[in-house]
Amino acid sequence: MENKKDFKPFIPADKVVPEFTVLSVILGCILAVVFGAANAYLGLRVGMTVSASIPAAVISMGIIRVMLKRDSILENNMVQTVGSAGESLAAGAIFTMPAIFMWASEGVCDMPSFLTIALIALCGGLLGVLFMVPLRSALIVEEHGVLPYPEGQACAEVLLAGEEGGDKSKVVFAGLGIAALYKFVADGLKLFPSEVDFAVKKNYSCGFGMDVLPALAGVGYICGPKISSYMLAGGVLSWLVLMPAIVFFGGDSLTTVADGAGGFLAYNQLDTWTIWGSYIRYIGAGAVAAGGVISLIKTFPTMVKTFKKAIAGLKKSGKGGDERTSRDLPIQFILIGVVALALAMWVIPTIPVNFIGALIIIVFGFFFATVSSRMVGIVGSSNNPVSGMAIATLIVTTVVLKVTGTVGAQGMIAAISIGSIICIVAAMAGDTSQDLKTGYIVGATPRNQQIGELIGAVVSAVTIGGVMYLLNAAWGFGSEQIPAPQATLMKMVVEGVMGGTLPWVLIFIGVFVAIVVEILGIPVLAFAIGLYLPIHLSTPIMVGGIIKWAVEKKKYASEKDKKDAVERGVLYSAGMIAGEGIVGILLAVFAVIGIDTALDFSGIYGDNFMAVGNWVGLVAFALLISTVFLFTKKKNK
């Protein structure tokens, strides 16, 4: 990636083209509602969401460029900016707020009102955007060429390919088409599992595997081998070191976390996913929290410089810079907005947050907005561990509420509400930074994008309340249809802190692992993310990184040929991320309308779906990876 000094945006700063138009905002709002609803269901079903930026950009190009014959890359960029807000806000909300619904079904509290859900989501969404604005210069501009922002870069490549046409667009859309077909075969028709999983149960109990999906390999290629290797190192430590150590030291003694048919299971009877969910995940959460603190400390000088520039910009009436591509929302607007939202959370009775809670939200919200914005610069929005940040927030919040006398059902609801807002803040800040990176590359006006993000947050906040009520009424959170795995974990954390049963030892192990990693000079946040997430995610990312390393190390006739090959790999990887994202949204819609089971062909393997499917999945992934090499070899005419 080129450095900041050499960079020139696609649309020059002195050129003005249609950008913030009625069409782009309306189309973006529609996509925000659609993607927000689809991702809400997907996250409640499987515990993760997919980024909507690239699918929104592709749909926008199809409507604006092809159907309406309008030619403005910045108008397309504005659509994806507004549209992606629905996905990120939904991710933050569904990872936490269903806990209140589950408590209501248990008789612990009353069912939350639609207004409560909407206001909590709105506060989190607006704060996430506002907190990110002062960080744009430090993270997007100053660290251009350092932080890859893989999905932001991929989205920009998709937009540029559509604008420029020719061979570049063919490479992008080839990757999009192949990945879309692959994703539909794997997760739509279920001809093989999209997650290959192996476990060792004898002398060395451990687990390993990979999500054989195109987007993760694409992220790895764009990030490169270094960042990918740091993530994999974290996964190796958690799955191949800590996991067998837990089983070995526990041995035949009984656990207190997993029930068997005859009572509690012994450690050496636990499967790998139980160990991960009950032990490794807490260690990873501690590492992510510590990594975030370390990252914040290290970037603090840059942040101070950024704020000084912002304050100095007060005299410029909020223009934020002389050039169009340097103008942010005015700093006074940011400060007034943050103060107004803090007061609203405190004084509006529908929002179950007191003065201390509002203070926690502002302090932790800004902290995690910074951490999240930097993390998506490393691994992308889809792999941003906002749930890890939410766990850290819930632990501290619940402790503070408990110490100050807010306990019982009131304390638990307040903790989840605060955690929900901060989780949404982190998700929205990450999405905003990714969109602003796309805008930086294509030459968008930052202020227009920031206004678009705020509009998307408002629309999505109203939508998410209706979606959650609809899904809860249909099946009930915690049911087999929508198990809400992330929210169930958050519920357990709050109950654990209130009841004094949270495993603090595991959390502090993660904290000190992060400190050791920092002492060794390894980028702690990338390592901590790998420690927290299943190794099944970091493995395919590493595969993508290795592919880029192989392409770069290959002998070429000239430096230009090498650069062209690496660039074609980036374009193809961007297409793979886009293809999987679009089909991921489509499959979520299929699941909502109930036709997903009609497409399921997993029964062809009988009872051996995983045993046979694992190897089929590995072969399919190997074939997919070979296509990357194929397209890097093709020369532009």
Residue bearing the bigger pLDDT, 614 or 582: 614
If phi over 0 gives left and psi between -120 and 50 gives alpha, with beta otherwise, what is residue 385?
beta
| Rounded Cα gap, residues 399 and 586, in angstroms | 41
User: What DSSP letter does each residue of 153-205 carry, written as one string?
Assistant: HHHHHHHHHHHH-HHHHHHHHHHHHHHHHHHIIIIIS-SS-SEEEEEE-SSS-
The model's pLDDT over 94-109, given as tens digits with 9 standing for 90+, comes to 888 999 999 998 888 8
| Rounded Cα gap, residues 266 and 257, in angstroms | 10
Encode burial over 167-199: b for 16+ CB neighbours within 10 A, e otherwise: bbbbbbbbbbebbbebbbbbbbebbbbbbbbee
Does residue 85 have a pLDDT over 60?
yes
Least confident segment among 10-24, 76-90, 318-332: 318-332
Kindly state the DSSP code that residue 242 receives in the 8-state scheme: I
- Determine the pLDDT at residue 538: 87
The DSSP bridge pattern shows strands 263-266 and 195-200 to be: unpaired
**Three-state DSSP state, 7:** coil
How would residue 591 be classed by pLDDT, with cut points 50, 70 and 90? confident
| Rounded Cα gap, residues 554 and 562, in angstroms | 8
Residue bearing the bigger pLDDT, 442 or 257: 442
Structure tokens at 589: 């819609």
Least confident segment among 207-211, 582-586, 604-608: 604-608
Show the beta-strand stretches assigned E in 295-373: none
- Determine the pLDDT at residue 334: 92
Does residue 315 have a pLDDT over 50?
no
How would residue 317 be classed by pLDDT, with cut points 50, 70 and 90? very low
- Taking only Cα atoms into account, the Rg of the chain, rounded to an integer number of angstroms, comes to 23
Q: Note the Cα 618 to chain centre separation in Å.
A: 25
The model's pLDDT over 272-309, given as tens digits with 9 standing for 90+, comes to 888 888 889 889 878 877 877 777 677 667 556 655 65
Kindly state the DSSP code that residue 28 receives in the 8-state scheme: H
**Three-state DSSP state, 516:** helix
Identify which of 325, 299, 328 has the alpha carbon closest to the alpha carbon of residue 313: 328
Q: Note the Cα 375 to chain centre separation in Å.
A: 9
Question: Average pLDDT, stretch 402-412?
Answer: 87
- Determine the pLDDT at residue 333: 92
Helix (H) or strand (E) holding 414: helix 408-442
Q: Note the Cα 55 to chain centre separation in Å.
A: 15
The DSSP bridge pattern shows strands 206-211 and 254-260 to be: unpaired
* Phi, psi (deg, nearest 5) at residue 208: -160, 165
If phi over 0 gives left and psi between -120 and 50 gives alpha, with beta otherwise, what is residue 556?
beta
Contact 79, 57 (CB under 8 A): yes
**Three-state DSSP state, 256:** strand
**Three-state DSSP state, 271:** coil
pTM: 0.73
The model's pLDDT over 116-132, given as tens digits with 9 standing for 90+, comes to 999 999 999 999 999 99
Does residue 604 have a pLDDT over 80?
no
The model's pLDDT over 175-204, given as tens digits with 9 standing for 90+, comes to 889 998 998 988 888 888 888 888 887 778
Q: Counting every residue, how long is the chain?
A: 637
Does residue 507 have a pLDDT over 80?
yes
Question: Average pLDDT, stretch 503-523?
Answer: 90
Highest mean pLDDT among 76-85, 104-113, 460-469: 76-85
Residue type at 471?
L
Does residue 440 have a pLDDT over 90?
yes
Which single residue is written with the structure tokens 């504005």? 78
Least confident segment among 57-66, 120-129, 538-547: 57-66
What does the longest C-alpha to C-alpha distance in the chain come to? Answer: 73
Contact 283, 509 (CB under 8 A): yes
- Determine the pLDDT at residue 341: 96
% pLDDT > 70, the chain? 86
Kindly state the DSSP code that residue 524 receives in the 8-state scheme: H
Kindly state the DSSP code that residue 351 receives in the 8-state scheme: S
Where along the chain do its domains lie? 22-188+259-535
Cα distances from 511 to residues 195, 280, 374, 376, in angstroms, run 29, 13, 19, 21
Contact 427, 88 (CB under 8 A): yes
The model's pLDDT over 464-495, given as tens digits with 9 standing for 90+, comes to 888 888 777 767 787 766 777 678 778 878 88
- Determine the pLDDT at residue 304: 65
Counts of helices then strands in the chain (DSSP H, E): 24, 4
Does residue 313 have a pLDDT over 50?
no
Helix (H) or strand (E) holding 216: helix 214-223
Which single residue is written with the structure tokens 């002389």? 322
Does residue 241 have a pLDDT over 90?
yes
- Side-chain-side CA neighbours of residue 61 (13 Å): 21
- Determine the pLDDT at residue 306: 54
How would residue 316 be classed by pLDDT, with cut points 50, 70 and 90? very low
User: What DSSP letter does each residue of 56-92 carry, written as one string?
Assistant: HHHHHIIIIIIIS----HHHHHHHHHHHHHHHHHHHH
Highest mean pLDDT among 168-182, 581-595, 603-617: 168-182
Helices (H), 95-165: 98-105, 114-132, 136, 150-164
Structure tokens at 505: 């030892």
Q: How wide is the angle at C-alpha 630 spanned by C-alphas 549 and 615, nearest 5°?
A: 80
Identify which of 451, 134, 126, 436 has the alpha carbon closest to the alpha carbon of residue 311: 134
Least confident segment among 47-51, 184-188, 216-220, 628-632: 47-51
Least confident segment among 78-92, 138-152, 175-189: 138-152
The model's pLDDT over 156-178, given as tens digits with 9 standing for 90+, comes to 888 887 776 656 667 877 888 99
Contact 462, 452 (CB under 8 A): no
Residue bearing the bigger pLDDT, 522 or 388: 522
CB atoms within 10 A of CB 84: 35
| Rounded Cα gap, residues 128 and 119, in angstroms | 14
- Determine the pLDDT at residue 492: 78
